[in-house]
Structure 1
Amino acid sequence: MEQSATLDIETLKITQEQFMLASQSVHLQRPGCDAVYPVGLYGWRKRCLYFFLLLLLVTMIVNLALTVWIIKVMHFSVDGMGNLQLKQDGIRLEGISEFLLPLYVNEIQSRRDSLLVLGSKTNVTLNARNSQGQLTGQLTLGPDAVEAQCQRLEIRSKDGSRLLFTANEEEVIMTTEKFTVTGSEGAVFGHSVETPLIQARASEDLKLESPTRTLTMEAPRGVEVNAPKGPLKILLDANTIQLGSLPLGIYTVSPSQASKEQAVYEVCVCPSGKIYLSPAETSSTCQAMSNICLWS
């Protein structure tokens, strides 16, 4: 038993010595076999990283300074930007505002104590469109003319209750009490004119003239010419004067007694200004008591 124990102890010692020798041999060979790599950025990589960080910091500072400058110059606030204020009922602009692109709005109003001025170097155009985007009305204020394109043009009174002027493709209607033409040449009409009254001013003469054509005055119940505050002078200066459908005045008791073979007549004028024909004889047959004058 003692010999076996001694052998085991010696065997254990030999094994321990072998393990120590083996471990020493491994420990001595490791430095020669493994390479050492440094951890981190060194050299030009480190300098580039610092340069990019510095450039990013400078860029952030410049952007922040520009943002503060824009806010200060444009007067940004909680209510809006400078002259532009955001309200619950819309947008309010103070001072002069310039729009470089089309402006789409429902309503434009000025302040109560100022005017609304729309200005442009070329022209100002106002367009009205329907729900499909089609153009229904257009008003253009240009340097040469003011053009309105619409189905019906209306001009109303100050309160909007009275219609003063209206125009469409068929007719133009003026409902004012008086239409005054103050030009030295008067008014020129290329076609017919329908009106119940043509009147000159109190201190001016009334002149109806057709320089190159005929002048025709027609009315269902006759044409009346009078001068209540002055003399009435009618000058008929033409190569041929035709007075058609003049009534025949007689001074006999019955119209059947008038001569039916009469070929020559004379033109008579009643005190009221009415013109009629009367049979011509050796002396004038015009009488103030004619039936035409009495019935007028």
Structure 2
Amino acid sequence: MEQAATLDIETLKITQEQFLLTSQSLHLQRPGCDAAYPVGLCGWRKRCIYFFLLLLLVTMIVNLALTVWIIKVMNFSVDGMGKLQLNQDGVNLEGVSEFQMPLYVNEIQSRRDSLLVLRSEKNVTLNARNSRGHLTGQLTVGPEAVEAQCRRLEVRSGNSGRLLFTADEEEVTMTTEKFTVTGSEGAVFGHSVETPLIRARTTEDLRLESPTRTLTMEAPRGVELSAAKGPLKISSRKDLQLDSTEGEILLDANSIQLGSLPLGIYTASTSQAPGDQSAYEVCVCPSGKIYLSPAESVSSCQAVSNICLWS
């Protein structure tokens, strides 16, 4: 019994010695591993991460809700947006539209059964530009005037496209068959007017007047003044001059009256007093002035008449 106990004690010692050697070898292989570190996030860092994730989720939900609301309000569809439809020909817009910024388009066209109306609180301006962006033409419709800025302004008829009116820096041309002025004061021209015919209506008078300056009528082939159904009256404050360089001046009428002609000198007849004179002769001075002279058996016109001397 004593021997068995001695063996067990020795065996236990050997086992303890092996355990100590094994522990020493493990301790030598992993030096400095006595401290332990926690794994994962905890504390205020973890709460901040959860808060940011929640805020991001709420933002995504709000954005999604706003997107759905905008699509519903603006009535987006595959063809367009509400009354704005996109097709192969362009953009079709129905109803009243308001543009806050400039609109750049190639063509604006209304439907066949409706009108195209452009409205603005101040003015409506249409600009035309070239490829370089320079302004080549402008049309402005304002509350006080309609202004067109371009090199040449043309007005054509809607049916045949015939040119009716043109205006540029040098001249203004009207190609219509008739130009009518219906104002009570007529038409006022600051400079010369070139036209083949000036005619009044059947029930109205034609009046050509220059209140402060000279009224001149010229034509390369002739000037004709005619009144078909009424009198023809020509009056002047100072001089009335009829001049023909190559032809003649023709006064064709049933009766021609020259009123307020001056009376020239005459030789008194013994048989008739000057107050009883009933017939007069029309005389012309070398200067062209016309005066009256009492008619006698021979011509009483004299170049040395007082009328001709003082003319």
- In structure 2, how many angstroms separate the alpha carbons of the residues matched to 1:197 and 1:106? 43
1:76–1:268: structure 2 CA closer, same or farther, 3 Å change rule?
Answer: closer
CA-to-aligned-CA distance 1:76-122 (integer Å, 9 cap, x gap):
11111122211112112111222222222111111112111122222
- In structure 2, how many angstroms separate the alpha carbons of the residues matched to 1:180 and 1:151? 27
Q: For the aligned residues, what is the CA RMSD?
A: 3.5
238, 252, 255: which is aligned to 1:270?
252
1:199–1:82: structure 2 CA closer, same or farther, 3 Å change rule?
Answer: same
Partner of 2:124: 124
Q: What letter corresponds to residue 43 of structure 1 in structure 2?
A: G
Partner of 2:277: none
Q: What letter corresponds to residue 19 of structure 2 in structure 1?
A: M
Deviation at 1:40, TM superposition (A): 2.1
Task: In structure 1, list runs of 5 or more residues that go unmatched.
Answer: 1-11, 250-266, 286-296
Partner of 1:141: 141
1:33–1:162: structure 2 CA closer, same or farther, 3 Å change rule?
Answer: closer
- In structure 1, how many angstroms separate the alpha carbons of the residues matched to 2:34 and 2:86? 73
Deviation at 1:74, TM superposition (A): 1.1
CA-to-aligned-CA distance 1:46-67 (integer Å, 9 cap, x gap):
2222211111111111111011
Deviation at 1:235, TM superposition (A): 4.0
Task: For residue 64 of structure 2, give the secondary structure of its aligned residue in structure 1.
Answer: helix
Q: What letter corresponds to residue 73 of structure 1 in structure 2?
A: V
Range 232-241 or range 48-57, more displaced: 232-241
1:152–1:247: structure 2 CA closer, same or farther, 3 Å change rule?
Answer: closer
- In structure 2, how many angstroms separate the alpha carbons of the residues matched to 1:248 and 1:282? 31
Partner of 1:294: none
1:21–1:239: structure 2 CA closer, same or farther, 3 Å change rule?
Answer: closer
Task: For residue 158 of structure 1, give the secondary structure of its aligned residue in structure 2.
Answer: coil
Residue identity (%): 67
1:35–1:99: structure 2 CA closer, same or farther, 3 Å change rule?
Answer: same
Q: What letter corresponds to residue 242 of structure 2 in structure 1?
A: L
- In structure 2, how many angstroms separate the alpha carbons of the residues matched to 1:117 and 1:14? 114
Partner of 1:163: 163
Task: In structure 2, list runs of 5 or more residues that go unmatched.
Answer: 1-10, 258-281, 285-292, 299-311
Asked whether the equivalents of residues 124 and 140 of structure 2 are also in contact (C-alpha less than 8 Å), the reply is yes
1:191–1:34: structure 2 CA closer, same or farther, 3 Å change rule?
Answer: same
CA-to-aligned-CA distance 1:254-292 (integer Å, 9 cap, x gap):
xxxxxxxxxxxxx994327999xx86675499xxxxxxx
Task: For residue 78 of structure 1, give the secondary structure of its aligned residue in structure 2.
Answer: coil
Within a 5 Å distance, the mapping from 1:272-291 to structure 2 comes to 283=295
Deviation at 1:190, TM superposition (A): 0.5
Partner of 1:7: none
Partner of 2:243: 244
Task: For residue 196 of structure 1, give the secondary structure of its aligned residue in structure 2.
Answer: coil
Task: For residue 106 of structure 1, give the secondary structure of its aligned residue in structure 2.
Answer: coil
Establish whether residue 99 from structure 1 lines up as the match of residue 99 from structure 2.
yes
CA-to-aligned-CA distance 1:3-49 (integer Å, 9 cap, x gap):
xxxxxxxxx99876532233367899x9x972333322222222222
- In structure 2, how many angstroms separate the alpha carbons of the residues matched to 1:95 and 1:76? 17
Q: What letter corresponds to residue 105 of structure 1 in structure 2?
A: V
- In structure 2, how many angstroms separate the alpha carbons of the residues matched to 1:86 and 1:273? 80
1:16–1:268: structure 2 CA closer, same or farther, 3 Å change rule?
Answer: closer
Deviation at 1:124, TM superposition (A): 1.5
Deviation at 1:179, TM superposition (A): 0.7
- In structure 1, how many angstroms separate the alpha carbons of the residues matched to 2:61 and 2:154? 61
CA-to-aligned-CA distance 1:195-246 (integer Å, 9 cap, x gap):
1111111111111110001111111222112222x22231424233333349
Paired positions, count: 253
Partner of 1:5: none
Asked whether the equivalents of residues 226 and 232 of structure 2 are also in contact (C-alpha less than 8 Å), the reply is no
